[in-house]
Structure 1
Amino acid sequence: MPRKKRIWVFNHYYHIVSRGNRRDPLFLYTEDFEAFLHILHQLHEKIPFELASYCFMTNHYHLQLRSKEVPISKVMGLINKRYSNYYNTKYCLTGHVFEKRYFDKVIVDKEGMLEVSRYIHENPVKAKMVMLPEHYPWSSYHLYKNPYATPPEFVNLNSILDYYEGSEEEKRRKYCQEDESRR
């Protein structure tokens, strides 16, 4: 029986999750996290997409992703294919790197955007990898927390910060304070 086609809702963000095969690690060393970021940079140059937030865990990753020009399935197919090629080549492996097709859920409103972003940023805290989300180096939380951090060109902080009023500094503070009050 064929798989159901993915439905792409134009101009909406999606919560995307992709997990390592057999829940095996996707990222073993710092270079693996860096390679994944590099792949995102490369693909963004060819197929524009935006991330509102992201978190790369040891055996899975979360993206809050929007594509304005091509379906999400095309973007995700390229991301996972390129990372699989990198991973299998580096570790002299063959076969599946990812467990199955990625999970995706369209985000339709402000509450959903904020909830997904917080969920993504809290992942390393809930997994007891760090005490605070800003201590985890492979998430976008530090981009919200630190006004001097320069986000990659594919990260659109305003997709979250525009839900708050005030200066950019006030918006960042409000987002991070709400996050802290939930812990």
Structure 2
Amino acid sequence: MQRGNARQRIFWDDRDRNRFIELLSESARRFDVAIFCFVLMGNHVHLVAQTHRPNLSRWMHWLTVAYTVFFSRRHRASGHLFQGRYKGFLVQEGDYLLGLGRYLHLNPVRGVSLGRGTPSERRKRLRAFRWSSYLGYAGLKKPYPFVEEEMVLGELGGARKDERVRYRRFVEEGLVREVENPFEAVRWQAVLGNETFVQKLRDRLKGLHRHRREIPSLRRIGRGVRTEEVLEKVAKKFRVQRERMQRKGERGLKARNVAMWMIWESGTKSLREIGELFGGLDYAAVAQRIRRTRLAHSARATSQLRKEMLNVET
């Protein structure tokens, strides 16, 4: 995902959106990148892609710079258009990739304002939204030639001639019932997949610093810090009983929030699992507490906590 700087709009009209899609297509050819899914929102972009070479950073840099040059010239704007580095993570193929695509394709009809209305009304708006790869997948318009749909459509099984109808039903099922948010299951803020996939990734990444530069969150993998160890260290530092720190309904306890933050940093638990560890908190509440706690600490204090709790020098 790539956001606009200070969450500002990065697309002002359809000409902007069309130009970004043109550049996305060109970048896929130029950098040998397979694009599986894209969604253009007002102030951010979601991309699901596979690089065949270790050039993820170069690809994203070229894409964002090329669009920024176009945007700045056209709108006579200055300064940064995008907010720093993109946020990326690795995704296991199969159900994980399929579920992520559905969740992202539903983005244009999700949220307080976008998610209003009946399922039928939201379906109508989803099918009218032109700025994603969904309509091509669903067979409602000609697919974008640079979007590689075969692998995703093949995950649903069945006859090839009906695959787009099956995909449309699969995605639009999310309009009538709540579908699982795949971001809840992300580990190390970098990996979406099952235990076997994660372990294989850990084994492959040992000593391969190149991949950790491509996705900085991968640096968390392999630290070897156990959740139990983090809990004990936080309880000791803040002189609080561990049982109290994890107890349901406990509020305003700094140690509790720091423990959630450090466990998330360690990568040993997903947001959902952290919530369960602390009395059944909702994953969104966990994410909010982690964010607030992180913002309340200076860079120096954060570095010291990581050193004490995670044995990491930053």
What is the TM-score normalised by the length of structure 1? 0.84
1:70-149 to structure 2, matched below 5 A, reads 70-127=54-111, 128=114, 131-132=122-123, 133-146=126-139, 149=142
Contact 2:5 2:81 in 1 (8 A): yes
Q: Identify the structure with bigger relative contact order (alpha carbons < 8 Å, sequence gap 6+).
A: 1
Higher helix share: 2
Length, aligned pairs only: 166
User: Which residue type is aligned with residue 154 of structure 2?
Assistant: D
Higher alpha-carbon Rg = 2
1:160 matched to 2:144: no
Report the CA distance between 1:110 and its aligned residue: 1.4
Contact 1:18 1:101 in 2 (8 A): yes
Cα-to-partner distance string for 1:112-135 (whole Å, 9 max, x where unaligned): 101210111000010417822222
User: Which residue type is aligned with residue 156 of structure 2?
Assistant: Y
Contact 2:135 2:141 in 1 (8 A): no
RMSD between superposed Cα atoms in Å: 1.7
Cα-to-partner distance string for 1:51-93 (whole Å, 9 max, x where unaligned): 1111101111101111113421111111111111111111112
Cα-to-partner distance string for 1:93-151 (whole Å, 9 max, x where unaligned): 22110112111011013121012101110000104178222221001110011166132
Which stretch shows the higher mean deviation, 30-39 or 168-177?
Answer: 168-177
Q: What is the aligned partner in structure 2 of residue 34 from structure 1?
A: 18
For residues 39 and 91 of structure 1, what CA distance do their matches in structure 2 show? 18
Contact 2:37 2:47 in 1 (8 A): yes
Secondary structure at the counterpart of residue 182 of structure 1: helix
Contact 1:147 1:169 in 2 (8 A): no
Higher strand share: 1
Unmatched 5+ stretches in structure 1: 1-16
The share of aligned pairs that are identical, in percent, is 25
Unmatched 5+ stretches in structure 2: 116-120, 176-314
What is the TM-score normalised by the length of structure 2? 0.50
